[in-house]
Amino acid sequence: MINPAKIRILIADDHPSMREGLAVLLGLQPDFQVIALAKDSLETIALYHEHQPDVLLLDLSMPGMEGNELVAAIRAKFSNARIIILTTYDGDEDIYRSLRAGACGYLLKDVLSQELFDGIRKVNAGQKYLMSQVALKLAERLQGEALTERELEVLALMIQGKSNHEISEALCIVDGTVKFHVRNILQKLGVSDRTQAIIVALKRGFFHL
């Protein structure tokens, strides 16, 4: 039975132990009520539509859809959705894209229980909430120069191990243009070669293998 005095929470995580552990932990708080658990993106959307929780606690890596796409999909239908990302991904690009998609909070899974509780309460009250280390990484991301859509396309093919010529064929551009984009990518990522660029791109969350 739903108690209107409590914060109604939907937990979405693809690991059963994480879902169930969070449900038990949050259920011990007198002002929280876990109303449903979701194991993938489709179930998250379906359960959100069904229950329309006060707060969605969402893992960034969910089967079926990128976490940022899932946030955007829910916010497109429910503009006031309060979504907190709870993840192991601490890349500044992951953080930036999540907040840009409409997430209201971003926490890492090693967060202390009390900070998790505080974050849920603040987001439910209409505030934003970021862990301090998350806020620092977001600040660094905002100060840096963003990659263009074309540069992201080139970077994605670099991660796949494509040569400049193979990239030029895939994107229907000349080799010289590929070299121009690669130089820009290296400069913006602050690295000196393609291998370092790939390592930094994956660490920062531009792409996930």
Say if CB 85 and CB 75 are below 8 A apart. Answer: no
Q: What is the pLDDT of residue 145?
A: 85
Mean pLDDT of the chain: 93
| Domain edges within the chain | 7-142, 149-204
In DSSP terms, 107 is beta-bridged to 86
Q: What is the pLDDT of residue 77?
A: 95
| Cβ neighbours for 68, distance < 8 A, ≥ 6 positions apart | 60, 97, 98, 100, 101
Q: What is the pLDDT of residue 142?
A: 84
Considering 10-24, 139-153, 193-207, the range whose residues carry the highest mean pLDDT is 10-24
Token pair of 31, please?
Answer: 């002002």
Q: What CATH number matches the domain at 149-204, 1.10.10.10, 1.10.10.60, 1.20.210.10, 3.40.718.10?
A: 1.10.10.10
Say if CB 40 and CB 14 are below 8 A apart. Answer: yes
CATH code, 7-142: 3.40.50.2300
Crossing angle between the packed helical segments 194-204 and 149-159, to the nearest 10 degrees: 110
Only one residue has tokens 């259920």, namely: 27
Only one residue has tokens 């690295």, namely: 191
Q: How confident is the model at residue 2 (pLDDT cuts 50, 70, 90)?
A: low
Distance of CA 203 to the CA centre of its chain: 13
| Cβ neighbours for 125, distance < 8 A, ≥ 6 positions apart | none
Distance CA 198, CA 128 (A): 32
Average pLDDT for 63-85: 94
Q: What is the pLDDT of residue 209?
A: 75
Q: How confident is the model at residue 1 (pLDDT cuts 50, 70, 90)?
A: low
Say if CB 47 and CB 15 are below 8 A apart. Answer: no
Residue-wise pLDDT for 170-204, tens only, equals 999 999 999 999 999 999 999 999 999 999 999 89
CA distances from 77 to 48, 81, 86, 90, 199 (A): 10, 9, 21, 27, 36
Q: What is the pLDDT of residue 3?
A: 64
What percent of the chain has pLDDT above 70?
98
The pTM is what?
A: 0.82
pLDDT surpasses 80 at 45: yes
Token pair of 147, please?
Answer: 């990659």
Residue-wise pLDDT for 95-127, tens only, equals 999 999 999 999 999 999 999 999 999 999 999
Distance CA 66, CA 132 (A): 24
